[in-house]
């Protein structure tokens, strides 16, 4: 049960449409439901903003199907990760609305309409072999209500492919970068952007990749700032973190709405400029996406009166 469903239920009781006994029955599984082999957290959407997700790997098809059936009965959206076709067949037999996403290896029930999604998330993959993990991140963020831009197969072995898409990358508020082998791509992407980067190491690679360990250690040791690293092959974790970051309101003021905060006690205050004198207003906020990159942009932000011609 999510906050909207709970609000509607309480309103129906208030209006006399639903009997209190029926409402009590609907709420009887809060905060959890015991199936014997699983304890379902129906309260999670109220606390966390998204219902409990089913990790299908390690569960039998019968167990997974039973869990899906109960979750789907209590909420509009259900996500199951690491699912195989035989698990999907068992789920669909009990939940006909379930859909299988082969590349992402996931099962879903319900979806957020495209027009209701929030833009700002971009998912980048180093290679085509990384797509199962990348698509798991995409699907997760979309189910959580976000529009996702895909930029695939732009690994460091052909860096020109990434550089040709830098302008698209700059439109993102948060970027998920999925890479195996040596795991170098997140460092490159983070060095080009001022948006946070979520790095996802994958188990793609030859022997010395150690099942994704070399990529994981490379990402943890990145010299680029602004990188957070999730576990190996954890597209779901990356998609969840990207969605949580993207739903945070932007702290940047819009042009014309900038205000000057009062000076803290003991600090020097700035008196209003007398009529007819030059205004000390900070003026419109610079557009970060039209000011160049790297040292060029840093100098223009620090010394706006010394911009000179642009390269």
Dump pLDDT digits (tens) for 248-272: 887 655 555 444 444 454 544 444 4
Q: How many other CB atoms are found less than 10 A from the CB of residue 16?
A: 7
- Chain mean pLDDT for the chain: 81
Whether 305 has a pLDDT exceeding 60, the answer reads no
Q: Among the listed ranges 110-119, 158-167, 215-224, which one has the minimum average pLDDT value?
A: 110-119
Q: CB-based contacts of 41: which residues, under 8 Å, 6+ apart? A: 31, 32, 52
Would you place residue 2 in the very low, low, confident or very high pLDDT band (cuts 50, 70, 90)?
low
Whether 81 has a pLDDT exceeding 50, the answer reads yes
Q: Which of the two residues, 56 and 27, has the higher pLDDT score?
A: 56
Whether 308 has a pLDDT exceeding 50, the answer reads no
Do 156 and 188 touch, CB atoms closer than 8 A?
yes
Tens of pLDDT, residues 87-128 = 999 999 999 999 999 999 999 998 887 788 999 999 999 999
Q: Among the listed ranges 78-82, 186-190, 270-274, which one has the minimum average pLDDT value?
A: 270-274
114-246 carries CATH number 3.40.50.720 = no
Q: State if pTM tops 0.75.
A: no
Delimit the domains of the chain by residue range.
3-109, 114-246
Q: Which of the two residues, 132 and 273, has the higher pLDDT score?
A: 132
Would you place residue 29 in the very low, low, confident or very high pLDDT band (cuts 50, 70, 90)?
low
Q: How far is CA 144 from CA 42, 50, 51, 236, in A?
A: 17, 7, 10, 11
pLDDT of residue 73: 85
């Amino acid at each position: 049960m999510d906050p909207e469903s709970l609000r509607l239920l309480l309103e129906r009781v208030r209006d006399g449409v639903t009997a209190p006994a029926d409402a009590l029955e609907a709420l009887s599984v809060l905060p959890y439901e015991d199936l014997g082999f699983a304890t379902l957290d129906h309260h999670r959407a109220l606390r966390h903003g998204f219902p409990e997700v089913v990790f299908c790997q390690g569960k039998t098809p019968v167990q997974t199907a039973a869990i899906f059936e109960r979750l789907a009965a209590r909420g509009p959206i259900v996500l199951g990760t690491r699912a195989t076709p035989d698990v999907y067949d068992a789920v669909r037999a009990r939940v006909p609305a379930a859909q299988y996403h082969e590349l992402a290896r996931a099962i879903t029930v319900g979806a957020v309409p495209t027009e209701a999604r929030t833009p700002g998330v971009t998912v980048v993959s180093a290679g085509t072999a990384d797509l199962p993990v990348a698509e798991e991140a995409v699907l997760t963020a979309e189910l959580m209500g976000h529009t996702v831009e895909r930029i695939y197969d732009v690994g460091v072995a052909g860096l020109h492919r990434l550089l040709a898409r830098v302008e698209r990358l700059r439109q993102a508020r948060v970027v998920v970068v999925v890479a195996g082998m040596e795991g170098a791509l997140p460092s490159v992407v983070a060095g080009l952007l001022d948006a946070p980067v979520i790095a996802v190491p994958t188990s793609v690679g030859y022997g010395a990749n150690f099942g994704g360990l070399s990529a994981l250690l490379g990402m943890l040791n990145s010299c680029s700032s602004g990188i957070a690293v999730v576990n190996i092959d954890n597209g779901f974790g990356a998609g969840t973190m990207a969605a949580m970051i993207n739903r945070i309101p932007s702290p940047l003021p819009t042009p014309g709405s900038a205000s000057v905060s009062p000076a803290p006690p003991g600090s020097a205050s700035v008196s209003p400029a007398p009529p007819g004198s030059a205004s000390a207003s900070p003026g419109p906020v610079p557009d970060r996406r039209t000011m160049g990159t790297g040292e060029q942009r840093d100098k223009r932000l620090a010394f706006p009166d010394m911009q000179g011609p642009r390269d």
